[in-house]
């Protein structure tokens, strides 16, 4: 309740299936503007080895890193989690994504009615297939039913690609999780 009163929205993705150890948990998002797909943001996870060269005293050091390895379920962890939270300030949603081994910030456009929320299937669950990009949460305004009521949950029952056409949503974000 304190988060709500302070305008903070939070979600968590938690996996305690030990069969997923060693798998990478990659978040991406699609933005829709003016009722159309605008772009995909891979959050910097291009999954290629990157080489960094730096000098320490008189020695040249070479450091290799693949940031996708940093978001893998560790063999020593009992569970894997990603925490997502943010706060709306002046129609800008300042979002923080906390993986267990790294943190990042994203700035999204939004408004007072936008809500960061989990997407669920018709049966109430949210199954995630390995190797498939699966919609897992959204940052969107509600669907205006035209009767003075606004609904967020009705969006759960349709693929995000048709939200603009079917529900007249002009702007929204859909976040996807892919486990590799």
Q: Which residues contact 103 (CB under 8 A, 6 or more apart)?
A: 96, 97
Q: What is the pLDDT of residues 57-83, one digit of tens each?
A: 999 999 998 888 888 998 888 999 999
Span 94-117, average pLDDT: 93
CA distance 160 to 173: 9
Span 84-88, average pLDDT: 95
Q: Is 106 exposed, middle or buried (0-12, 13-18, 19+ CB in 10 A)?
A: middle
Number of Cβ within 10 Å of residue 68's Cβ equals: 17
DSSP 128-161: --BTS-EEEEEEEPPEE-SSS-EESGGGGGS-GG
CA distance 133 to 80: 18
Span 148-164, average pLDDT: 81
pLDDT band at 7 (very low <50, low <70, confident <90, very high): confident
Q: Residue 2: what pLDDT?
A: 67
Q: Residue 26: what pLDDT?
A: 94
* Position 6 pLDDT exceeds 80: no
């Amino acid at each position: 309740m304190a988060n709500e009163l302070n305008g903070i929205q939070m979600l968590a993705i938690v996996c305690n299936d030990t069969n997923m150890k060693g798998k990478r948990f990659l978040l991406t998002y699609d933005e829709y503007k003016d009722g159309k797909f605008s772009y995909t943001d891979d959050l910097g996870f291009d999954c290629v080895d990157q080489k960094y060269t730096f000098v320490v005293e008189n020695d040249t050091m070479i450091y290799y890193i693949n940031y996708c390895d940093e978001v893998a379920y560790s063999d020593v962890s009992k569970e894997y989690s990603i925490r997502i939270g943010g706060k709306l300030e002046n129609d800008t949603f300042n979002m923080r994504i906390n993986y267990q081994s790294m943190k990042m910030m994203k700035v999204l456009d939004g408004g007072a009615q936008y809500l960061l929320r989990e997407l669920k299937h018709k049966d109430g669950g949210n199954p995630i297939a390995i190797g498939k990009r699966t919609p897992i949460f959204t940052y969107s305004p509600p669907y205006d039913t035209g009767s003075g009521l606004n609904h967020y949950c009705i969006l759960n029952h349709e693929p995000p690609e048709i939200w603009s056409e079917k529900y007249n949503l002009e702007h929204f974000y859909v976040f996807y999780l892919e486990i590799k």
